[in-house]
């Protein structure tokens, strides 16, 4: 299947849609520095509004996509990239007093909490999905009382499978009469994580070049984007007697971004240690901008369309279930990249806006909307005349879509399908 992005209007009708969450990213991050962690941010359990369907409409189907819960860094290499440089400098007595403090605290944190756990779901991640399932049940109790057919699928990554188990356990704990069928099959990867190397239906998309080699749609490179924002040598000078000490390893730029991963991932781990003192608030924001840029390039059209099969699977699955006439729930457990792609393709809260240059990404597209355990679902309702409406809920908040609303957060499903078929073309 080949797909191409149709840009209807770059600066016109799409840009006119005003997102519901209008507070700037800078303001949000300065009020909660953990958000500077982007996709390391923890799921924000908040008080929220639950809007009932309009009179005459009854819930019949729920389509869900959840990111795995809080995890440790992906692999041992991610830890070694920052700790290895600090270790070498410590052994050569090349650290400043602040650098020595960083080395001692980071080493203790790794040995106490992270060793042998790379890539795993943390206990915090389990708790997240258990609680989210119960929250969704409470918000949609009347629908679940119908005992819908519930199927759940996860990518074959252990943290996703365990997240699915936690969610399903939380759901059944609310109502022991519910039954959930769980799978983790290669055959479902087009739905859950299309760009996964092990996906047997994966398209040969040319976007997997190294991050530092690729150019964005405006011709910017990641190195230039980072260097315009972050004085990585000045940061290194705080920790190393020679700010160029990391150069023979992966460079000063890479050391700072690797340290960013180590520091901001700590919120995902049950530890009392904290390294947030390493960066100033302004550096936190600038580092987030760089991290956000990377995720935009990996997930947002028109930079990439690698996860478009997940969207078409969601649409097709909804239509099949709605046609069956039987209440049902489809649960999916995957990754932040697909989550962000779905938000972008459906235009949730302005995520479909295309900036005029790379600097504009941070104005409307925020990767902390895909925190650890990020959860979205579409709740579909059928009217007395058979018409279908739906609302989209992201991290418990009802979002605005670039469609004419029926009432409140409720939209016509046919309108969304028309929008998607207009924006994207499928050629088999």
Question: pLDDT tens digits for 185-220?
Answer: 999 999 999 999 999 988 765 444 556 666 788 888
Weakest-pLDDT range from 43-57, 214-228, 272-286, 405-419: 214-228
Kindly tell me if the per-residue pLDDT of 268 is higher than 80. yes
Q: What is the pLDDT of residue 313?
A: 97
> Domains of the chain (ranges plus CATH)?
2-71+122-205+305-427 (3.40.50.1240), 76-118+217-280 (no CATH)
Check: CB of residue 168 under 8 Å from CB of residue 133. yes
Distance CA 233, CA 147 (A): 59
Kindly tell me if the per-residue pLDDT of 271 is higher than 90. yes
Q: What is the pLDDT of residue 302?
A: 81
Distance CA 154, CA 162 (A): 9
Q: What is the pLDDT of residue 233?
A: 96
DSSP state of 42: B
Q: What is the pLDDT of residue 97?
A: 98
Distance CA 211, CA 127 (A): 33
Weakest-pLDDT range from 202-211, 265-274, 321-330, 349-358: 202-211
Query: With pLDDT > 90 as the criterion, what percentage of the chain qualifies?
Result: 86
Residues 6+ apart with CB under 8 A from 142: 59
- DSSP per-residue letters across 356-370: SSGGGHHHH--GGGS
Q: What is the pLDDT of residue 428?
A: 37
Query: With pLDDT > 70 as the criterion, what percentage of the chain qualifies?
Result: 92
Average pLDDT over residues 109-122: 97
Alpha helices in 97-251 (DSSP H): 97-109, 123-139, 141-144, 158-174, 189-192, 222-227, 232-239
**Secondary structure (3-state) at 30:** helix
Average pLDDT over residues 338-355: 96
Check: CB of residue 100 under 8 Å from CB of residue 90. yes
Average pLDDT over residues 56-74: 98
Q: What is the pLDDT of residue 8?
A: 31
Of residues 225 and 302, the one with the higher pLDDT is 225
Average pLDDT in the chain = 92
């Amino acid at each position: 299947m080949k797909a191409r992005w149709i840009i209807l209007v770059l600066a016109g009708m799409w840009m006119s849609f005003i997102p519901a969450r209008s507070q700037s990213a800078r303001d949000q991050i300065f009020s909660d520095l953990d958000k500077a962690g982007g996709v390391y941010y923890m799921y924000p359990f908040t008080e929220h509004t639950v809007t009932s369907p309009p009179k005459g409409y009854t819930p019949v189907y729920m389509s869900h996509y959840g990111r795995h819960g809080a995890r440790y860094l992906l692999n041992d290499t991610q830890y070694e990239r920052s700790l290895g440089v600090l270790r070498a400098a410590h052994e050569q007595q090349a650290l400043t007093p602040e650098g020595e403090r960083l080395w001692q605290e980071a080493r203790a944190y790794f040995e106490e909490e992270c060793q042998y756990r790379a890539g795993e779901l943390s206990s915090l991640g389990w708790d997240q999905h258990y609680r989210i399932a119960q929250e969704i049940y409470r918000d949609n109790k009347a629908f679940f009382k119908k005992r819908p057919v519930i199927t759940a699928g996860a990518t074959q990554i252990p943290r996703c499978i365990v997240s699915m188990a936690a969610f399903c356990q939380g759901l059944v704990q609310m109502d022991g009469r519910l039954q959930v069928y769980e799978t983790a099959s290669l055959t479902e990867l087009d739905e859950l994580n299309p760009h996964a190397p092990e996906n047997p239906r994966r398209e040969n998309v040319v976007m997997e070049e190294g991050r530092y080699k690729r150019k964005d749609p405006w011709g910017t490179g990641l190195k230039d984007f980072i260097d315009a924002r972050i004085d990585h040598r000045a940061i290194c000078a705080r920790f190393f007697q020679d700010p160029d000490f990391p150069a023979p390893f992966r460079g000063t730029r890479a050391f700072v971004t690797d340290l960013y991963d180590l520091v901001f991932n700590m919120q995902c781990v049950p530890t009392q240690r904290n390294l947030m003192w390493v960066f100033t608030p302004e550096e936190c924001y600038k580092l987030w901008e760089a991290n956000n840029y990377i995720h935009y390039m990996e997930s947002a059209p028109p930079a990439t369309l690698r996860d478009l099969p997940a969207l078409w699977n969601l649409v097709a699955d909804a239509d099949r279930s709605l046609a069956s006439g039987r209440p049902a729930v489809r649960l999916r457990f995957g990754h932040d990249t697909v989550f962000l792609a779905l938000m972008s393709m459906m235009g949730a809260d302005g995520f479909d806006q295309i900036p005029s240059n790379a600097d504009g990404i941070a104005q409307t597209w925020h990767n902390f909307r895909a925190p650890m355990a990020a959860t979205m679902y579409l709740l579909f309702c059928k009217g007395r005349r058979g018409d279908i409406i739906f609302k989209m809920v992201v991290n418990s908040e009802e979002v605005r879509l670039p469609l004419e609303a029926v009432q409140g957060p409720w939209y016509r499903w046919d309108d969304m399908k028309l929008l998607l078929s207009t924006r994207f073309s499928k050629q088999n």
